[in-house]
Homo-oligomer: A and B are copies of this chain.
Amino acid sequence: MKDLGYYNGNFDDLDKLTVPFNDRVHFFGDGVYEATLARNYIIYALDEHIDRLYRSAAMVDINIRETKEEMKNILNSLVKKLDDGDQLVYWQVSRGTQSRNHTYPEDMVGNLWVVLKPAKIKNIYEPVSAITAPDTRFLHCNIKTLNLLPAVLYAQEAQRKEVYETILYRDGGRVTECSHSNVHIITSEGVFKTAPTDNLILPGIARAHLIRACADLGIPVDESPFTLDEMMNADEVLISSSTAPIRVCNYIDGKTVGSKKIKIVEALQKYVMDEYLSATDVK
């Protein structure tokens, strides 16, 4: 198969599959999700993504039918159905199926959806540009939910401006994250500074890997908020997500930024890529 959509045990080409009209996701964006890459049919960091999905589900009271082990087995068997072993692996659990109503039965059981399509890790060595915008999202950004309409509009605005991402900031100037990435800086003292994992940012798995990389490489980490001003004057600005685990951002709102700690960046790039490639190498 070229691509694949899966819904509660049924699967088909993405543009052929249909799903029940009464899935609650249709009316409330009522679900949680995950996305990662597969390479050589090996799903990268699967355990970490599965763990986060169950945490997200618990935070919004969604009951997942499958055990973690069952979900892993489903995903690992589905990726094998594609012609190409390098894929975007996306999956979500919606709250359940019910005629449209805000409230739901306490024993409702979730529906599992999977999207697979060919994809490769992005070129992490190519620097990117960004714009900034006020962060008007809800106060549950730590939960990976399907209430993503603001993220859609931020991403679309970035595309219109021909930049890679929209970097968001709250009142007072605190930088939070991007439309679908985390953002970090390297200070003039060589400290990797990244917003704390409170309710204003998603605890990114690529972010966690970068923090582990810093620990191994002896780069100090400071998980505390930074402002727009700090970012614009930082020695490096880095953007991370599961499909592009580290990217240098060297141009924000039309101004040149960063690119002053190239050695640290190169060390992080090497660490992150080595980890990704070795985890997804065919043994």
Which residues of A pack against B, CB within 8 Å? 3, 5, 7, 12, 14-15, 17-23, 25-30, 33, 60-61, 90, 92, 95, 99-100, 102-104, 113, 115, 117, 136-140, 145-153, 155-156, 159, 179-180
Contacts and interface: CB of A to CB of B under 8 A. Distances in A.
B100 A115 contact: yes
Residue in A90, A155, A180 whose Cβ sees the most chain B Cβ within 10 Å: A155
Contact of A147 (B5, B139, B149, B155): B149
A142 to B, nearest CB: 11
A137 B139 CA distance: 6
Contact of A136 (B14, B95, B140): B140
B28 A149 contact: yes
A25 B22 contact: no
B103 A159 contact: yes
Contacts of A180: 102
Contacts of A99: 3, 14-15, 115, 117
Contacts of A138: 136-138, 147, 150
B19 A156 contact: no
A5 B27 contact: no
Contacts of A33: 27
Contacts of A102: 148, 151-152, 155-156, 179-180
10 contacts: A14-B22, A14-B99, A19-B20, A26-B146, A28-B148, A95-B152, A99-B117, A102-B155, A138-B147, A145-B149
A139 B140 contact: no
Contact of A5 (B22, B104, B117): B22
A93 to B, nearest CB: 12
Contact of A156 (B12, B15, B61): B61
Given A15-B20, A17-B21, A19-B21, A60 B153 contact: yes
Given A3-B99, A25-B26, A29-B146, 7 more contacts: A5-B22, A14-B22, A29-B149, A60-B149, A102-B180, A138-B147, A140-B150
Contacts of A146: 26-29, 149
Given A19-B19, A21-B18, A151 B100 contact: no
Nearest to A10: B21
A33 B147 CA distance: 15
A194 to B, nearest CB: 22
B29 A153 contact: no
Nearest to A150: B138
Residue in A18, A137, A147 whose Cβ sees the most chain B Cβ within 10 Å: A147
A90 B5 CA distance: 28
Residue in A26, A60, A140, A151 whose Cβ sees the most chain B Cβ within 10 Å: A26
